Amino acid sequence: MERKIRVLVAKPGLDGHDRGAKVIARSLRDAGMEVIYTGLRQTPEQIVSAAIQEDVDVIAMSILSGAHNHLFPRVVELLKEQGVDDVLVFGGGVIPEEDIPFLKSKGIAEVFGPGTPTSKTIDFIKANLKRALA
C-alpha cells in the first residue's frame, strides 16, 4: 500500500495573512495527505528543521509581505546544507510574475498566484514528488 504524502505548509516571514495557507492545508488534508501547518512568523531555519523532523515530502510556503526573494531561496539553501535534496519546495502568495524566474533558478519548483484553484496545487504535488510513496 502507498503511504500518505507528507506536507509542511509554512508561513515564512512576518506577515499574518494565512487564509490562503490554511485553505491549502485543509484542501491537501481533504485530498488524503498528511499536513502539518507551522503557524505564522517562521524563520527559514525553523521551517527546515520542522521539515526534517517531520520527514515531509513537500514544503509549501505562503508569503504576502514581499519578502519572498529573500526567504524562499534561503529555505532551499538550508535544505542543501543539511544534505536534503528530495523534498519538493514550492510557494504561493502575492508574488510578481517577474520574480518567478529568479525563484525557480533558486530551486523553488513552482509559484502559485492569487486565484489558483486548490485542485491545481494538489495535482502539482502528485506529479512532482521527488520521493517514492511505495
- Piece of 8-16, 48-56, 82-90, 125-133 that binds other proteins (CB under 8 A): 8-16
Find the shortest distance in angstroms from Cβ 86 to other proteins: 25
Question: Which residues from 22-41 bind other proteins, rule CB under 8 A?
Answer: 22-23, 25-27, 29, 35, 37-41
* H/E run at residue 63: strand 58-63
Q: Does 133 bind other proteins (CB under 8 A)?
A: no
Q: Which of 18, 48, 108, 125 binds other proteins (CB under 8 A)?
A: 18
Range in contact with other proteins (rule: CB under 8 A) among 67-75, 78-86, 102-110, 124-132? 67-75
Least distance from other proteins to the Cβ atom of residue 35, Å = 8
Q: What is the largest CA-CA distance in the chain?
A: 42
Distances 130 to 43, 114, 120, 125 between C-alpha atoms, Å? 24, 26, 18, 10
Mapped onto helix, strand or coil, the DSSP state of residue 69 is helix
CB 100, min distance to other proteins, A = 9
Q: Which of 54, 102, 114, 130 binds other proteins (CB under 8 A)?
A: 114
Instruction: Give pairs for 105-114: CB < 8 Å, separation 24+.
Output: 106/72, 106/73, 106/76, 106/77, 107/73, 107/76, 107/80, 108/72, 108/73, 108/76
For other proteins, the closer of residues 23 and 133 by Cβ is: 23
